[in-house]
């Protein structure tokens, strides 16, 4: 699609490089700057564009940033069923730091390869989107372990907005799995994620039951 801007025919982009995608994300709150950076136009030229044309331009840019029409996941994405604890934690850290800023690193982990920042983002977005949605399903399945809200509250949250500080709280979980031994950390990180989460869920329930037993015993002692 083309727009006529200041007498010039501007071809609207249908994709951006990963590097450009990250740069554009910095200006989503500033319409003029967003158009300027996305289309390579001087800001003075952008300010001359009619508001209706700006609105259309922004809509087309957002469509290019998040190509929902593209559902084909690029091959070689890691298997979510076989994802390791270490890979999951790395992805959590990048998401918690705002994936719009860390997208390149996130893609590198998700595809387990060295991705160039000059590659087109559109080919990777379907895989990223699928992972983000799978991640939400995972959190629902282990909501008691992760201390997230009920299903109604959860459904209303953005797919990347989980109200918990897991990214920086994983060390305790790792040390629990490693039996508090430093040399066990690497083998733990290479364990399948689901296997690790199942153990952590069991361990949390065990601790809660033991704590409840202590409270009951203390209550009975006070009643005597």
Written as one string, the DSSP assignment of 56-98 is HHHHHHHHHHS-TT---PPTTPPPTTT-BHHHHHHHHHHHHTT
For the chain, the farthest-separated pair of C-alpha atoms sits apart, in whole angstroms, at 91
Residue 8 pLDDT: 83
pTM summary value: 0.83
| Residue-level pLDDT, tens digit, the chain, 224 residues | 788 877 788 899 999 999 999 999 999 999 999 999 999 999 999 999 999 999 999 999 999 999 887 788 999 999 999 999 999 999 998 998 899 999 999 999 999 999 999 999 999 999 999 999 999 999 999 988 887 655 444 444 444 444 445 555 788 899 999 999 999 999 999 999 999 999 999 999 999 999 999 888 888 888 77
Q: For residue range 114-128, list pLDDT tens digits in order.
A: 999 999 999 999 999
Residue 155 pLDDT: 45
CA atoms of 62 and 65, how far apart (whole Å): 5
């Amino acid at each position: 699609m083309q727009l006529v801007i200041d007498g010039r025919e501007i071809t609207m982009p249908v994709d951006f490089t990963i590097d450009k995608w990250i740069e554009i994300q910095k200006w989503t709150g500033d319409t003029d700057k967003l158009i300027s950076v996305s289309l390579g136009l001087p800001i003075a030229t952008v300010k001359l564009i009619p508001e209706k044309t700006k609105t259309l331009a922004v809509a087309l840019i957002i469509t290019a940033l998040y190509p929902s029409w593209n559902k084909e996941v690029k091959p070689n994405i890691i298997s979510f069923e076989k994802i390791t604890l270490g890979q999951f934690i790395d992805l959590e850290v990048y998401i918690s730091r705002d994936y719009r800023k860390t997208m390149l690193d996130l893609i590198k982990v998700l595809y387990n390869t060295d991705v160039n920042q000059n590659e087109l983002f559109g080919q990777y977005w379907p895989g990223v989107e699928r992972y983000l949605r799978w991640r939400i399903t995972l959190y629902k399945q282990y909501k008691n372990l992760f201390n997230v809200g009920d299903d109604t509250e959860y459904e209303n949250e953005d797919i990347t907005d989980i109200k918990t500080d897991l990214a920086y709280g994983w060390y305790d979980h790792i040390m629990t799995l490693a039996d508090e031994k430093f040399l066990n950390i690497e083998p733990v990180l290479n364990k399948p994620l689901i296997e690790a989460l199942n153990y952590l869920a069991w361990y949390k329930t065990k601790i809660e039951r033991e704590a409840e037993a202590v409270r009951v015993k203390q209550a009975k002692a006070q009643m005597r």
